[in-house]
Amino acid sequence: MSRPATGTTSTAPTARQVWTRVRGAALVVALILTGGLALATLQSSDAHGALDPRSADPHGSRAVAELLKARGVTVTLAGTLAEATAATDTGTTLLVTTPDLLTNTQQSTLRSAMTDSTGRTVLVGAGRSSLRTLAPGVTSALSVPVRERAPACTMETATRAGSVDLGGERYEPSPGTNAAACYPSDGLPTLLVLQGTGPGTGTGTGTGTGTGTGTGDTVLLGSPDILYNSRLDQRGNASLALQLLGSRPHLVWYLPSLSDSSATADTPADDTTGNFLSLIPSGWLWGTLQLALAALLAAFWRGRRLGPLVTERLPVALRASEATEGRARLYRKANARDRAASVLRTATRTRLAPLLGVPVQDARSPDRLLPALSARLPETTAEPRDLLFGPAPADDATLIRLADQLDALEREVRTS
């Protein structure tokens, strides 16, 4: 009777199995793409950025710009340094949103314009790199979080506004500097008004009348939060912003940008272009460090053993002979005669040791096993050392002969 033909069973995964395996990763990728598209859509819907007087987003400044216009202040937006300096005159307030973005050459040009003018210059978040040129004699200290702060000074502008949301940069004027320091944090102000030496005499506090009769001054604002749309209606933020920016009839709102042609002739004052890490916000650096720490903890958690191994019940019971044959085929396919001979000899020595009165842990020692075997079989014709501890067989025939000789030796020991 002929055997029925058996078809070949494919071991390749089916489409359903592939989908089951990759659906988790596909879901994560889909969520990331969806989030990225949503974020890009939201950002593209707003044509302007932070502190832009045209922007109505939470970090824009359209609200304060509209309030200033309603009070008769002309607001001029400047995107380049040339536009900002050209629009500045004696009756002007010049607002510089990110002075640290200016290059050394741009800062020198801006400083010259500030010196020639008796108007007001407001520097938002000016740090160490820009203070050297734009506010000589003032140094910055470690920044602090933005929170509600009291004026703690007698300057009319601050006392009228009351408590506001300030923080960020803190300033320390050199001794003898004619300055009004308000909203301190640990003794250092987050708002500093430096009095100028233009024609006439004035307090430089900015009362918001729009007369422009005071002498020129420089205002250092530690953080921009009082100018944001989202914070303008909180506490005295609107009052302080309108007084600082509305003391002159004309406000030049300067948004520095690296696309400015005057910035290409020089590097930023803090030379951040040569240091990639300095271009990354500190929050991202801390976030990366936390993610790395979390990854290490997860690897430790997943890698450590939570107790002894648990025997798993196999879905199919395999006979020992089938497992032996399968391993033998693997040895044969790899031409691993040395490994096969080692397994055969080790198994024989392990079975012979209890029969010869030798501890199992000493079965691999020729000095312990061979003397006991010679005492048990003094007249054997086999060479125990070559059988149990000899070299690897040179071919398959020698390996088969070794297996037969090991079986014969074991039977001889059992029957002796």
88 and 233 share one domain? yes
346 and 246 share one domain? no
**Where does a domain end: 238, 268, 298?**
268
Compute the distance between CA of residue 34 and CA of residue 404 in angstroms, rounded to an integer: 68
Using one digit for the tens of pLDDT, what is the confidence trace for 8-41? 455 566 777 778 777 777 888 888 888 777 766 6
153 and 254 share one domain? yes
Compute the distance between CA of residue 100 and CA of residue 97 in angstroms, rounded to an integer: 9
pLDDT the model gives residue 46: 46
Residue 19 lies in a domain: no
Beta strand 188-195 with 250-254 is: unpaired
Using one digit for the tens of pLDDT, what is the confidence trace for 327-344? 888 888 888 888 888 888
Q: Which of 1-5, 267-271, 289-293, 306-310 has the lowest mean pLDDT?
A: 1-5
DSSP state of 258: T
Residue 277 lies in a domain: no
Residue 44 lies in a domain: no
Using one digit for the tens of pLDDT, what is the confidence trace for 174-197? 888 888 899 999 889 999 998 864
Q: Which of 46-55, 107-116, 155-164, 209-218 has the lowest mean pLDDT?
A: 209-218
pLDDT the model gives residue 199: 34
216 and 333 share one domain? no
Domain hosting 332: range is 320-415
148 and 224 share one domain? yes
Q: What is the CATH number of the domain that holds 242?
A: 3.40.50
Is the whole model's pTM more than 0.75, yes or no? no
Higher pLDDT, 269 or 227: 227
233 and 340 share one domain? no
Residue 369 lies in a domain: yes
Beta strand 92-96 with 120-124 is: parallel
Cα-Cα-Cα-Cα torsion 84, 99, 172, 60, nearest 10 degrees, comes to 90
Higher pLDDT, 211 or 313: 313
Q: Which of 83-87, 351-355, 404-408 has the lowest mean pLDDT?
A: 83-87
Compute the distance between CA of residue 140 and CA of residue 188 in angstroms, rounded to an integer: 9
Compute the distance between CA of residue 276 and CA of residue 379 in angstroms, rounded to an integer: 83
CB-CB contact of 243 with 157 (8 Å): yes
Q: For the stretch 220-233, what's the b/e string if a residue is b when 16 or more beta carbons lie within 10 angstroms of its beta carbon?
A: bbbbbbbbbbebbe
Backbone angles phi, psi at 256, to 5 degrees: -60, 145
Domain count for the chain:
2
148: β partners: 165
Compute the distance between CA of residue 286 and CA of residue 278 in angstroms, rounded to an integer: 13
Compute the distance between CA of residue 329 and CA of residue 201 in angstroms, rounded to an integer: 102
Backbone angles phi, psi at 318, to 5 degrees: -105, 140
CB-CB contact of 214 with 202 (8 Å): yes
259 and 350 share one domain? no
